[in-house]
Chain A
């Protein structure tokens, strides 16, 4: 079975084509186009305009790159949520138009669950991981338990990416600020004490952000502040992930989301996994950030397990929570 997936939850519009091969996911194409505002953060409507401008060409490009004709696509999947309304609607509209014009079924999928499934689908031996999903908006620790993907821990205020971006903007960096903050952090030497906020398996970052801003106003070196932000927030993320692993008695950990590109976060989670004898997984970069292939793969899994959606019911859901999805494709 071959599925084309359309991702459009936030700043990224992406089209991926995948097929299933021996129960694993084979990515045939995965084209990603990211909206970058000239200044400030994402404006939802402008991001949606960006997506609308490119989506048709990207669909053609993706099908060509997969060396297929449109008649060979069996299913169209799209990101149903969670995300920004205008962006979600643009992706869903493109999916509906494509589904009707090539007369193939449509299916809407949960973006967060897709991040987990693409890891299981493409990585050897990654069968039942705890996912640490860190992006701009999302910070969740997700694992499979009692028939659903459950959120064992999550941010109580802002996402980790958002926290880093906000600090980046205070010190005058361009969006997304993660890579620049990571570079600055490498030059940091002095650890500045920052709030470390964990409630059970949940975390919070806004207090830390305020404290970091204070250090900036007090003329501490930005390298030291970036270093301290990374060390503190990533330690907290690693700790809640380890707590979830102990709680669910799972011995695999998977990273997903844009912040998973950060080498220090990877290193910390990897050390944690080693110290408890667990396996560490991270998908290749283009499958880690927001991408169409993961949407396509989850759509394919859902369709094969018997889930069907009519075009007239292909709504988007800005607040589509991870634990709202009935997982029909796993034992």
Chain B
């Protein structure tokens, strides 16, 4: 059966395929010739396993994520639901101000929902979110972990802040809208996390 590559990222190939009659997406982690086998095998299998686990837990926490159909640790393949939506990265800059604010708040709410369950995404960027049926769907949990510390949640949001500053630099107020949604939905004191983000920013060189 033929597979069609729809996206090739740094780490994985994303293909459209079929699985038991469903149209699915297969995320296949690529072997990298530049790193030694021990590191390559370890990264591919732990990230595949971690990602599948976190996606299931995020779904249980009320976050929209693709449904997982199958996981192959040896090959580094996750077979999941095909979402026919739009990447936030591609649409955010062209939305009007009100709509952009609304979408960003929704993003913040979703992040708070997985943070409430100590799920750390590890790579929250606008390339890793899809808008479909007015819901924000998250994927690419491969760098994630379970961690209850404020530090981990701060770092998680800091990654998004940097992504917004570099990719949507004209609309960097987006991150404030994200925080509005985050504050609304987070069960612990969100100001602690926000303070942590400021601390992390200062930790960077030459700040």
Chain A residues within CB distance 8 Å of chain B: 81-82, 137-138, 140, 145-146, 148, 150-152, 154-157, 159, 191, 193, 196, 198-202, 231-232, 235, 238-239, 242-243, 245-247, 267-269, 271-272, 275-276, 318-321
Contacts and interface: CB of A to CB of B under 8 A. Distances in A.
A196 B162 CA distance: 21
A199 B121 CA distance: 10
Contacts of A245: 10
A200 B33 contact: no
B48 interface: no
Nearest to B170: A146
B204 A246 contact: no
B10 A246 contact: yes
Given A200-B163, A246-B10, A154 B204 contact: yes
A267 B43 CA distance: 20
A198 B143 contact: yes
B9 A246 contact: yes
Contacts of B43: 196
Interface in B147-188: 155, 158-159, 162-163, 165-167, 169-170
A148 B169 CA distance: 10
Interface of B: 8-11, 32-36, 38-39, 42-43, 122-125, 127, 143, 155, 158-159, 162-163, 165-167, 169-170, 200, 203-207
B35 A235 contact: yes
B127 A247 contact: yes
Given A145-B166, A196-B43, A231-B39, A156 B204 contact: yes
Contact of B35 (A152, A157, A268): A268
Contact of B10 (A137, A243, A321): A243
B204 A242 contact: no
Contacts of A276: 10
Contact of B206 (A198, A231, A242, A321): A321
Contacts, number: 104
Given A155-B205, A156-B203, A199-B143, A191 B10 contact: no
Contacts of B143: 198-200
A137 B33 CA distance: 28
Contacts of A246: 8-10
Contacts of B122: 199-200
B125 A200 contact: yes
A242 B30 CA distance: 13
B33 A275 contact: yes
Given A159-B205, A275-B33, 17 more contacts: A137-B205, A145-B167, A146-B169, A154-B205, A156-B155, A191-B36, A196-B43, A198-B143, A199-B123, A199-B158, A200-B162, A231-B35, A243-B10, A243-B11, A246-B10, A247-B127, A268-B34
A145 to B, nearest CB: 6
Contacts of B200: 156
B34 A271 contact: yes
Contacts of A146: 169-170
A244 B41 CA distance: 22
18 contacts: A138-B205, A140-B205, A148-B169, A150-B165, A151-B166, A154-B204, A191-B36, A196-B39, A199-B158, A200-B162, A200-B163, A201-B162, A231-B39, A243-B10, A245-B10, A276-B10, A319-B206, A320-B206
B185 to A, nearest CB: 22
A235 B44 CA distance: 13
Nearest to B166: A150
A321 B200 CA distance: 16
Contacts of A318: 206
Contacts of B204: 154, 156
A157 B203 contact: yes
Contacts of A235: 32, 34-36, 39
Nearest to A159: B205
A215 B130 CA distance: 44
Contacts of A239: 10-11, 32, 35
Contact of B159 (A137, A199, A272): A199
Contact of B38 (A155, A191, A242, A320): A191
Contacts of B159: 199-202
B206 A238 contact: no
A252 B177 CA distance: 35
B127 A238 contact: no
B60 to A, nearest CB: 24
Contact of A238 (B34, B38, B165): B34
